Amino acid sequence: MGRQPIGNDINPLSVLLTRPRLAAPAPRDVARKLEQISWDAGQIDDTELLAFYSPRTLRHICALRTWLFERAPLDETPDAVDDWIRMVAINRLTGHSPGFFSVYTLPPNQAVSPQSQRKINERRGQTPPDRDVKKLILKKTASLLSDGPMAPHPPSLLTTGEAQSTPKIDSGTVRLVVTSPPFLDIVQYAEDNWLRSWFAGIDVTTVAIAHHRTEAGWQKMVRDTLTELARVVGSRGHVAFEVGEVRNGKVLLERLVWDAAEGLPFDRLFVMVNQQEFTKTANCWGVKNNAKGTNTNRIVILRRH
């Protein structure tokens, strides 16, 4: 829409996933770059990963990983094509189809441990097959860019830090916030992303991802976040604050959000409830849809005075 994109998340992985999409390269530039990598020179330093990959595929993944470490260190703004290749690779690491680098498994944001993967392999009678890493990156690139480039927009501002304090974002400059916090303690963001973090060279143990067991602790985090959002959002700007159903619908997080906004300079407009009908990933692991887990999205809509 030509707006300036501004984003923040405490996990540095978020920048690696978002920044390349805001400055997407041409597919032919990606193809040219991938030709420069010495794929067969990759060194396997962790044989546990052979639970997911064939030795040849893992060597190729390691070659790409080392190449990215050298060319696109995390503390520098990298070349847009390198950044793109890393983003696609991070999202192709594991999955349930031949479109991923791994043998059949969970997606890379819910990666299982090598030990669990060995059990899955045994149960399914599967051995990791060779995959063509370069070809899969190109194929995914073509499909992601099939709609053409994004509309021109002012340069993005992506920050890594606590939502409760975002000093790099100027006061009153934001028109719309779309955000979603961890839902109490139900998702293990650090553990579930261990494989992506390995590939990217991120030490997740140093990231203070919000993980609240108690409703009171969680509500305080939300209150502190809304207080900061009241600072950055301009007059008549909106906040869409998404939460999900947890503890089998016994805890209504949207009520906690609604109450946390009490006394802040927002009009609380309404809560939008979105009943899911689509098939969840968990469904292929035997979790019935609309039974366990998060089955509805609840979005609290606020407007700044």
Residues at the interface with ligand SAM (CB under 6 A): 9-11, 14, 162-163, 180-182, 189, 209-210
Minimum CB distance to ligand SAM smaller for 105 or for 109: 109
In whole angstroms, how close is the CB of 110 to ligand SAM at the nearest point?
13
Cβ neighbourhood burial of 45 (10 Å; 0-12, 13-18, 19+): exposed
Tell me the three state secondary structure of residue 299: strand
Minimum CB distance to ligand SAM smaller for 107 or for 182: 182
Spell out the SS3 assignment of 177-191: EEECCCCCCCCCHHH
In whole angstroms, how close is the CB of 132 to ligand SAM at the nearest point?
29
In whole angstroms, how close is the CB of 293 to ligand SAM at the nearest point?
13
Minimum CB distance to ligand SAM smaller for 189 or for 194: 189
Minimum CB distance to ligand SAM smaller for 10 or for 257: 10
Minimum CB distance to ligand SAM smaller for 14 or for 283: 14
Which are the contacts of 69, defined by CB distance < 8 A and separation ≥ 6?
201
Q: Are 293 and 287 in contact (CB under 8 A)?
A: yes
Q: Are 253 and 244 in contact (CB under 8 A)?
A: yes
> For ligand SAM, which residue has the nearest CB?
210
Structure-token pair, residue 223:
């209150």
In whole angstroms, how close is the CB of 28 to ligand SAM at the nearest point?
30
Which among 8, 11, 6, 9 has a CA at the least distance from the CA of 234? 6
In whole angstroms, how close is the CB of 253 to ligand SAM at the nearest point?
11
Structure-token pair, residue 236:
């008549």
In whole angstroms, how close is the CB of 9 to ligand SAM at the nearest point?
5
Cα–Cα dist 185/212, whole Å:
5
Minimum CB distance to ligand SAM smaller for 50 or for 252: 252
Q: Are 127 and 103 in contact (CB under 8 A)?
A: yes
